Structures are given as C-alpha cells and as structure tokens.
C-alpha cells in the first residue's frame, strides 16, 4: 500500500502533464514538445515572485498559473496559428524550437544551478494512515492534481467555451461555419494546457529543486502516459498517468529503482502492440 500511495501521488502529476498534451492534440492535432519548458519557465516566474518581490506563496502560485495560461495563449497566437499550414514534422520543429528558446532564456536569466523552491505543502509533515506513511507534499500534490482535472472536466463539459473546444476538435471547418471563433478558443485551449503544466511544475519543484531541466523527465512521462491511455482521449490521459505512476512505484519497490523507468516504457510498448491507439484511445479518421 505504501508503494500504491507513492504511485498515485506521482501519477496525478503525470496525468496533469498528459492532459495538457492530449488537450492540444485533440483540438489542434499538434504535439507540443515545448510543454515542459513552458511549465519550467512558469515555475521560474514563481521563484522570482517569491525571492525578488516577496509575494506570499498562495498569491504567487495563482499569478504563476495565470502567467502559464498567458504564455500558452501567446505561443499559439504568435507561432502555432501561423504554422497551421505546414506539415506535422514542421509543427513539431516549431514547438521544439520554442522549448529550446525558453530553456536557454531560463538559463540566461536564472542560471543553471539548482535552487530550493518553497512548497505550498510541507514535505516534512507526514501522516500515518493504517501503517501507510504519506507526506503533506505528496497528499497536497495529488489533491491539486485531482482538483485541476475536475476543473478541466467541468470546463469542457459544462461551459460554452468547452462546447466550442469540443466542436473544434470534431470538425474545425464546420465549427467555424456555425460561428465558433476558432482563434480565441484555440488560444484559450493552449493557455489551459500550459496552466496545467505550470501547476505540475509548481508541485514538482519543491521535491526535485528548480533548474532549467526540471520538467524534462516529467514531460517524457507525460507523453508516455498520453500514449498509454490514448493520445486522443482525455480520460485516457488520466488513466495512463496513474497507471504509469503505479507501475514505476511498484517496480521500484519490488524489483529495482534503476529499472522502474525502463519497465514503465516496456509496459507502454506491450500495450501499443496489442492496442495501438492506447487503452481508451480511438483511431483518428479524416474524411477526404
């Protein structure tokens, strides 16, 4: 049970990253390889608010989520919208280029050394429940992850913006013809995905310390979770993130810590061999 709790806490953050990636792929058919660097850059903004401006931790976290949302919207309006007509490989290069630019800019502005990061939840406070030990940081991170997943669900299923996002993901031309303003809706979609990544970075930074490569490994795990659950399924992204977190924790506990990341990707390969579209994904078909 101890390993299950650890796996669920990690899986909630993997699921947040995977949700952002799948959200963008469903609506725009773009794989955003800058997702991790955008989240890391937002975490550095929080670090500046703490250290240079003296902003309390809760308002600073809120401002950072807003900054992450704005960064995603600007990225779409400034680059992605202009690159919509190029092929998939070209779009991937655009996102990679933007990510490397943000990574270099973060290194230039804040340096490459690791920095301690204030925690919204204390890693030193632990709770004992039925023989299972869980830290306040792990419990709080899992709670934040679940709350944001629920907020995204409510946004997509019960708001006019969510209805417009679903319409664009199904058929953008028809949605435009029916009056959906694709530009603003897509910009807010990219902003929402970036905000999810920023939240994951804020939860990870206290445990892993802040540096320009903070989200490199979580981004890979987020991609893995998205592929495992289904790259075009939001519930699949959540399921894939949690399955990946549990697999890593159990293998690390019972087999070897050195093998846990490798085993997780072996599980993904096995799933894709027998179900190429992931656990909850479906085949994307485009009509001529």
Q: What percent of the chain has pLDDT over 70?
A: 97
What is the rounded distance in angstroms from the CA atom of residue 243 to the CA atom of residue 238? 9
pLDDT at 203 over 50: yes
Q: What is the pLDDT of residues 93-146, one digit of tens each?
A: 999 999 999 999 999 999 999 998 888 888 788 888 777 888 888 888 889 999
Alpha carbons within 13 angstroms on the beta-carbon side of residue 167 total: 17
Q: E-assigned strands of 121-234?
A: 126-129, 132-135
Q: Is 23 exposed, middle or buried (CB count within 10 Å of its CB: 0-12, 13-18, 19+)?
A: buried
Assigned domain for 155 exists: yes
Instruction: Indicate whether 86 belongs to any domain.
Output: yes
Handedness of CA 85, 17, 97, 50 (dihedral sign): positive
Joined together, the tokens standing for residue 166 give: 């679903």
| Cα four-point dihedral sign 41, 265, 226, 4 | negative
Class of residue 235 by CB neighbours under 10 A (exposed 0-12, middle 13-18, buried 19+):
middle
**Which run of H or of E encompasses 97?**
helix 88-110
**Helix 182-208 / helix 136-158 crossing angle, nearest 10 deg:** 170
DSSP for 23-50?
HHHHHH----TTHHHHHHHHHHHHHHHH
| Residue 267 burial by Cβ neighbours in a 10 Å radius (0-12, 13-18, 19+) | middle
pLDDT tens profile 68-82: 999 999 999 999 988
| Average predicted confidence (pLDDT) for the chain | 88
**Per-residue pLDDT tens over the stretch 228-286:** 888 888 999 999 999 999 988 888 888 877 777 777 778 778 877 888 888 887 765 55
106 with 44: CB under 8 angstroms? yes
pLDDT of residue 283: 64
d(CA 9, CA 266): 21
Q: How many domains does the chain have?
A: 1
Question: How many C-beta neighbours within 10 Å does residue 61 have?
Answer: 21
Assess if residue 197 is contained within a domain. yes
Which value, in Å, is the radius of gyration of the alpha carbons in the chain?
19
Position 127 scores a pLDDT of: 86
Asked whether 185 and 164 are in contact (CB, 8 A), the reply is yes
Distance, in Å, from the CA atom of 9 to the CA atom of 24, rounded to the nearest integer, reads: 24
SS3 content of the chain, % helix, strand, coil (to 5): 75, 5, 25
Task: Classify residue 274: in a domain, yes or no.
Answer: no
Decide if 270 is inside a domain: no
DSSP 81: G
pLDDT digits (tens, 9 = 90+) for 31-50: 999 999 999 999 999 999 98
Residue 24 domain-assigned?
yes
Q: What is the band of 288 on the pLDDT scale with cuts at 50, 70, 90?
A: very low
Residue 164: which domain range? 2-218
236 in any annotated domain: no
pLDDT at 284: 55
Task: Report the 10 Å Cβ neighbour count for 72.
Answer: 31
Q: Has residue 272 been placed in a domain?
A: no
């Amino acid at each position: 049970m101890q390993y299950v709790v650890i796996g669920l806490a990690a899986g909630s953050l993997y699921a947040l990253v995977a949700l952002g990636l799948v959200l963008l792929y469903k609506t725009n058919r773009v794989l955003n390889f800058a997702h991790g660097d955008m989240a890391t850059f937002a975490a550095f903004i929080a670090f500046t608010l703490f250290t240079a401006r003296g902003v309390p931790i809760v308002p600073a976290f809120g401002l950072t989520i807003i900054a992450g949302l704005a960064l995603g919207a600007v990225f779409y309006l400034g680059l992605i919208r202009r690159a919509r007509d190029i092929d998939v490989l070209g779009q991937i290069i655009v996102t990679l280029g933007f990510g490397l630019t943000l990574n270099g800019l973060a290194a230039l502005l804040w340096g490459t050394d690791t920095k301690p990061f204030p925690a919204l939840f204390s890693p030193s406070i632990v709770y004992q429940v039925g023989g299972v030990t869980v830290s306040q940081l792990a419990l709080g991170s899992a709670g934040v992850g679940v709350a944001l997943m629920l907020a995204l669900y409510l946004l997509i299923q019960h708001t006019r913006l969510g209805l417009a996002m679903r319409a664009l993901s199904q058929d953008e031309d028809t949605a435009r013809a029916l009056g959906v303003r694709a530009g603003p809706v897509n910009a807010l979609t990219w902003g929402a995905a970036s905000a999810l990544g920023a939240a994951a970075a804020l939860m990870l930074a206290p445990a892993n310390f802040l540096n320009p490569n903070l989200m490199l490994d979580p981004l890979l795990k987020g991609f893995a979770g998205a592929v495992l659950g289904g790259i075009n399924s939001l519930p699949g992204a959540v399921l894939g993130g949690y399955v990946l977190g549990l697999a890593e924790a159990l293998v690390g506990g019972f087999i070897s810590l050195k093998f846990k990341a490798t085993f997780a990707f072996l599980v993904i390969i096995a799933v894709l061999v027998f179900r190429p579209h992931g656990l909850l994904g479906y085949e994307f078909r485009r009509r001529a």
